[in-house]
Amino acid sequence: MSGSGDPKTIRRSSLALKTNVIAAVAFILIILTGSAALSGGSSGNMPDDTGEDLAEKNILSVPYYNQGDTNWCLYYCLAMMYDLNNCSVKPWEIAESFGSGHSETFTEQYIPYDNSLQEHAKRTANLNMKKTIWGYNLGQFDADNFNEVIRNSIDRGQPILMAFQYKVADGTKEGHAILAVGYDDEYIYLTDPSGAITAGLFKNTDGHIAVPITWDEFKEIFSSKINPGNMAFTIETLNDAPDSSTEGSLYITDHSNSGFSCLSFTDKNNINDVGLLRFDGKYENGYTVVSKEDVTAERKPSTQDYMSVHFTVSNPTATQKEYTVKSNVINTNTGEVMESFYFKIDVNVAPFDDVSKGINYSNQLEFIPANDYRIVLTLQNESMSIVDSVCIDLCVE
């Protein structure tokens, strides 16, 4: 399932470096010693409460990532859980670990009876996770126990991953994974990496982060339908909750099947020759650049290309946030910072909302040598501490 919405593009009149070279190099060194569907949100997705009331609710600040055109809802939910626990592992890195292709279906990604997800969590993030299978059994489903498991996990400060199979209007069976990130007496709050469940089934179109669904609706759609014919499982994090909550998240995503990507390359001599970022776990690093005309064919970025970079900033907290996004391009062979690619954008994001921005470069690639490069995006809070980052490696010919 994929997210929705178009980015709000910013065209910069000047790309001059606005900080001195020493500061830029220090910034990049910080990134290099550390370790992406552009969807517009809405602050109206919550019940009618004040900011103070929202802050008092039992809603966890879980970083949000949209799965774009991939089918990787499971990996995106897992990445959100990792990130909350201070381990930054990108969804495409998880897909690469499992060798999952771009368009593999929900059931092709994971067999619920093995322990591969738990083993990955322990190996990668040192997290202990518990899986419980609720469907595919002959016993009577205990909806009260199911809901209590959700509440107990959130009370421990950890979201819980819920994966369901269900039938849509035409009778087709779909599969999707979401996170429960909060609850109160009336609502369960769901974070959906695509909106397939929150918007598709519950018809709540006011965003994807901490979407309020009444317990009665939740029971009607899912709890009452878990049976031997519809697989369902939950994954809990058993570790103690982190001491500090997440302040925000930054992502880029794959929209190549829709003809748009957060990262694109257009031949300035042939505007129909376009390269698009595509997440695919069968490639090294979990991604590659493909041709818009044939998304199964790789297409190398060139110094003759225009480049566009788009991103989304998400605020998973109950208060308004002011962020700063910085971007740069680094020659990974020499460590040189490509100063003409630097940009800085300030972004204000409402509670449980996201904002998409971007930049279109004109002919900057023409003035750098063919080589290996890393595109680095960082998200900083009001005190200029790094909250999140994204790196994409490319070979420019």
Give the burial string for 96-130 (b: 16+ CB within 10 Å, else e): bbbebbbebebeebbebeeeebeebbeeebebebe
Residue 48 pLDDT more than 60?
A: no
Cα–Cα distance, 338 to 15 (Å, whole number): 11
What mean pLDDT is reported for the chain? 82
Domain ranges of the chain: 62-237
Asked if the model's pLDDT at residue 36 lies above 70, the reply is no
pLDDT in tens, 330-364: 999 999 999 989 999 999 999 999 999 988 888 78
- The superfamily (CATH) of domain 62-237 is Cysteine proteinases (3.90.70.10)
What percentage of the chain carries pLDDT values higher than 90? 58
pLDDT of residue 144: 80
The arithmetic mean of pLDDT across residues 178-192, rounded, is 96
Q: In this model, does residue 117 exceed pLDDT 80?
A: yes
- pLDDT, residue 312, reads 95
Tell me the mean pLDDT in the region 209-214.
96
Q: How high is the pLDDT of residue 103?
A: 83
H-helix segments, the chain: 21-32, 51-56, 73-84, 91-98, 106-109, 116-125, 143-155, 215-221
Q: What is the pTM of this model?
A: 0.84
